[in-house]
Amino acid sequence: MNKLCDRLREVHEAGVYRLNCTLDDVRGAAQQAGYTLFEIDLSEAHSKGALLAALALAIEAPEWFGNNWDALADALADLSWQPAPGYVLLLRDASLAGIEEETLNSILLETVAFWQSQGKAFWAFFA
């Protein structure tokens, strides 16, 4: 796990990935790194609205969250209510067929780039 924790701390390697280790490994490494872990079970997210609601709940989005893609992008680039040296977003049971997966991936990649410009790592893992 130390190796994974060290890798999570590498800001320039942060990105959007398919998980190739156990969920417990990611949970432990995020905790060891002192990162905030947002874990989301998407098994019941069969629509854009359900996906956005699950994401908002997981990140404990503020009241201004508008349940749309722009609000998600804004919230992920803020996270002032969740201060941390880095972030890990763990998306479990994600089968997003027909839910604008490209849009979500684009927002996640933009979020990674934003946090890198702030000197922080933001990782997103699809499990």
For residue 79, what pLDDT is reported? 96
Pairing state between β 86-92 and 121-126: parallel
Helix/strand/coil (H/E/C) assignment for every residue in 24-67: HHHHHHHHHHCCEEEEEECCCCCCHHHHHHHHHHHCCCCCCCCC
For residue 29, what pLDDT is reported? 94
Environment class of residue 76 by beta-carbon count within 10 Å: exposed (0-12), middle (13-18) or buried (19+)? buried
For residue 67, what pLDDT is reported? 87
List b or e across 80-114, with b for residues whose CB sees 16 or more CB atoms inside 10 angstroms: eeeeeebbbbbbeebebeebeeeebeebbeebbee
For residue 95, what pLDDT is reported? 73
Under CATH, which number does the domain 2-126 receive?
Answer: 3.30.370.10
pTM of the model: 0.92
From first to last of its 127 residues, the chain has per-residue pLDDT tens of 578 878 888 899 999 999 888 899 999 999 999 999 999 998 888 888 989 999 999 999 999 898 899 999 999 999 999 999 999 999 998 776 667 788 999 999 999 999 999 999 999 999 8
For residue 38, what pLDDT is reported? 97
Contact 127, 23 (CB under 8 A): yes
